Amino acid sequence: MNKYFKIFLGLGVLVSLLTSYGLWRFNSSPRLGELGFLLIAVLLLFLVLVFQSLFVQSRKGLLILVLIESFFIFTFFYGSFSYWFLIGLLAWLVIGFFALRKSDNYLKEAKKIRFTYYVNPLVQGLLIGFVIFLSFMYAGIYQQVGSISYNIHEIFISGSAPAVRAFVPRFVPQMTVDSFIGSLIDAQLDDESSMLPESVTKNIPPEGLDKSVVDQIKTEFTTSIEEFTGVEISSQVNVVDYTYLLVNNFFRSLSERGMFPVIILFVIILIFLPLRLVTLVIRWPVAWVCMGVYQLLKKTGVLVIETQQVPKEVLLVNLKNEE
């Protein structure tokens, strides 16, 4: 058995256990410290996945490694196993192998090796697969629990804050809904590309609307939200609590109408889209760490680049026959 197979077998089992524990720990208590632990575990997992694809040349051996690692990803979820978890993991494996195939083709065809061209598509594929895996995993958790976790919902709202600030510059997740609506209306009244109806904005004088008129607009807007959602807005409820109530009420109403599959699909999309946006940013730090490890392995002589003279046939037209 190849020594690198044994090395990566041990490393793969270790980082898979760490990732499984990190996910379980974060799901149990989704806080910043748990999130940091999970991110470190996932980074180590990705490092092992990237470099085991280089060191384990046998694709059969690599498949065995990945299957063993996948088995240990389940370690802390055996009690709450669902087929959604398995579907997500299979999707991750398939996408990962397609990404590896693309990276392998680069090594076979490249005349001059640039490791960044090998690692970037592989990391991107692994990240997309991991996001799909998480989306299906949380869909399975929702199916078992029947509601969205408040802590995870709070993290989701906090993560969306930068995007919300494009419309409400002073937005913070813990602000009251009244303050949020007021800030939104104020921002829209000051914005030339306002989303408010033209019937509201066309008659605004240069010096602005009277405070009583603005307050009336805010009241009407609040009433419209309450009528649409069926949930009253109290003066003290904050954005996180109110949106949490809305989401769970919405899912409950769909379930009562026999539309539970729609809920699962909605949960998958709700998890996938923001996480996919996050991966567009974090794939570069992950790739840079891989590049750093690669440079270290080159300097220590573990990895070497050799120039090979490869015989190649060329098809030419025999011009001698024209003489």
pLDDT digits (tens, 9 = 90+) for 177-234: 888 888 888 777 665 445 555 555 555 544 455 567 667 778 888 888 888 888 888 8
Q: Mean per-residue pLDDT for 107-127?
A: 88
More confident residue, 245 or 318: 245
pLDDT, tens only, 169-178: 888 888 888 8
pLDDT band at 66 (very low <50, low <70, confident <90, very high): very high
More confident residue, 312 or 72: 72
The two structure tokens encoding residue 44:
């180590």
DSSP string, 225-254: HHHHHS----SS-BHHHHHHHHHHHHHHHH
Compute the distance between CA of residue 64 and CA of residue 58 in angstroms, rounded to an integer: 10
Q: Mean per-residue pLDDT for 118-123?
A: 91
The pLDDT of residue 193: 44
The pLDDT of residue 129: 92
* CA distance to 71, 185, 256, 279, 290, per residue, from 86 (Å): 10, 45, 27, 22, 28
CB 125 within 8 A of CB 104: no
The pLDDT of residue 56: 87
Per the prediction, the chain carries an average pLDDT of: 82
Kind plus residue range of the DSSP H or E element containing 144: helix 115-145
Check pLDDT > 80 for residue 15. yes
Q: Mean per-residue pLDDT for 54-73?
A: 89
Task: Indicate left, alpha or beta for 208 from its phi (over 0: left) and psi (-120 to 50: alpha).
Answer: left
pLDDT, tens only, 273-300: 878 887 888 888 889 999 999 899 888 8
Q: What angle do CA 74, 77, 80 make, to 5 degrees?
A: 135
Check pLDDT > 90 for residue 16. yes
Percent of the chain's residues with pLDDT above 70: 86
Check pLDDT > 70 for residue 146. yes
pLDDT, tens only, 92-104: 999 999 999 998 8
The pLDDT of residue 35: 83
Compute the distance between CA of residue 40 and CA of residue 19 in angstroms, rounded to an integer: 9
Please state the pTM of the whole predicted model. 0.71
Relative orientation angle of helices 32-55 and 115-145, to the nearest 10 degrees: 130
Identify any residues that bridge with 176 across adjacent strands, giving them in sequence order: 238
Count other C-beta atoms under 10 Å from residue 221's C-beta: 17
